[in-house]
Amino acid sequence: MDWLETARDTFRRDQVWNFMMPKEVHVDVSKDVILYVEDLNVSFDGFKAINNLNLYIRDGELRCLIGANGAGKTTLMDIITGKTKPDSGSVWFGQTHNLLEHDEASIAHMGIGRKFQKPTVFEAHTVYTNLELSLKTNKGVLPTLFARLSQTQKDRIAEVLDIIGLTEQQQMDAGSLSHGQKQWLEIGMLLASDSRLLLVDEPVAGMTAEETEKTAALLNSLAGKHTVVVVEHDMEFVRSIARTVTVLHQGSVLAEGSMDDIQRNKDVIEVYLGEEHAEQAGAA
């Protein structure tokens, strides 16, 4: 066995040394709720961006979050992912993890993944490599030169490629994918990193009608195995995926229910849908 073989053997990814092994994070969803947001408040220079917000997300659900610009959607995601600390209130991941006690890296490690509106894939790497780099055991620890993927990891990548519909494109550079394909790859990267709760910001902005439809199918297929919270403006899209819609307004929950409930809700029509329709009419 030459030195390279020895090194490779040492760095086999299915036999990682204990200190390198990420600890499995147990999320207690025995009450069927994976995310608790209670009495949340945050102000920026005296302006209340989040105002006594309460939100409960069930394990495995696909939730849509809508609301006009400035309603607090992004700020809420910033707080859940540890980017912004609230002034008061609580945020729990399952029964036992107080997210306000953790930083961004630790929250990501617990299994909360965020997809920003602009795709952030590694353009110069292949689709396959992008997924490989997202595998949890691979995060910045093992030199790729020596490491081999375990069969389990290869199977997982194949599975993710299938879920996101990019099996045929796996050896393409991510940079040459279409806008929609990049978005799917980024969702795939969250799946490869074992994210259990996915926060997805405006996934269909800039997509073609066909890509939008595929994205709806993709997010629908994730529900059950993953919990997905989607921020989206495209109401047609929201209708096609949401079981429950939460409407944010001035940092609070204005209404929550099925798409039909929401579209009939007088408050929602007045402050959000009315406004959107007026904008559309104005733009037409």
Ligand X SMILES: Nc1ncnc2c1ncn2[C@@H]1O[C@H](COP(=O)(O)OP(=O)(O)O)[C@@H](O)[C@H]1O
- Applying CB under 5 A, which residues contact Mg ion? 73-74
Q: Which of 75, 193, 227, 265 binds ligand X (CB under 6 A)?
A: 75
Q: Name 248's bridge partners.
A: 253
Per CB under 6 A, the segment of 11-19, 66-74, 147-155, 260-268 that binds ligand X is 66-74
**8 A C-beta contact, residue 231 and residue 114:** no
Per CB under 6 A, the segment of 65-73, 87-95, 163-171, 213-221 that binds ligand X is 65-73
- Output the smallest distance, CB 71 to ligand X, in A: 4
Out of ligand X, Mg ion, none, what residue 171 binds, judged by CB under 5 to 8 A for its kind, is none
- Output the smallest distance, CB 217 to Mg ion, in A: 25
- Output the smallest distance, CB 76 to ligand X, in A: 7
For 27-39, b/e burial (b = at least 16 CB within 10 A) is: bebeeebbbbbee
**8 A C-beta contact, residue 179 and residue 94:** no
Q: Which of 61, 67, 111, 119 binds ligand X (CB under 6 A)?
A: 67
Angular region, 178: left φ>0, alpha ψ -120 to 50, beta rest: beta
Give whichever of 132 and 186 is closer to Mg ion, judged by the CB atom. Answer: 186
Angular region, 58: left φ>0, alpha ψ -120 to 50, beta rest: beta
Angular region, 40: left φ>0, alpha ψ -120 to 50, beta rest: beta
- Range 35-54, binding ligand X (CB under 6 A): 44, 49
27 binds ligand X (CB under 6 A): no
- Output the smallest distance, CB 44 to ligand X, in A: 3
69 binds ligand X (CB under 6 A): yes
Which strand (E) or helix (H) includes residue 227?
Answer: strand 227-231
Residue numbers of the site for ligand X (CB under 6 A)? 44, 49, 67, 69-75
